């Protein structure tokens, strides 16, 4: 659903406008009947899944054998 709201009204009612936005809804803010901004309702994101050790195994491909780059990490290696 797209709703147009004049800039002056949007300034006074912004918290209300944001609260009533549903996912996919759009509010177009206008100034002298020209669109100047859009508020778009976002879907709520799911909570982040916990990490699982080894879940990325096989996703990294080493193109060439090169141990010279490890010299930069010598202070951090046992």
Domains of the chain in sequence order: 2-40 (3.40.1620)
Residues sharing a CB contact under 8 Å with residue 2, sequence separation 6 or more, in sequence order: 25, 26, 27, 28
- State the Rg of the chain over Cα: 25
Exposure on the CB side of residue 7, measured as CA atoms within 13 A? 8
Contact 56, 62 (CB under 8 A): no
Indicate the pTM of the whole model. 0.54
4's enclosing H/E stretch is strand 2-6
Three-state secondary structure call for residue 78: coil
Q: What is the pLDDT along the chain (78 residues), one digit of tens a residue?
A: 789 999 999 999 999 999 999 988 999 999 999 999 999 998 777 777 788 898 888 887 777 777 777 788 888 877
């Amino acid at each position: 659903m797209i709703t147009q709201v004049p800039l002056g009204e949007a300034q006074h009612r912004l918290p209300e406008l944001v609260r009533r936005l549903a996912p996919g809804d759009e509010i177009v803010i206008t100034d002298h009947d020209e669109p100047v901004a859009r508020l778009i309702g976002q879907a709520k994101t799911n909570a982040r899944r916990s990490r699982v050790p080894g879940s990325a195994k096989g996703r990294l491909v080493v193109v060439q054998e090169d141990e010279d780059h490890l010299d930069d990490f010598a202070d951090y290696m046992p």
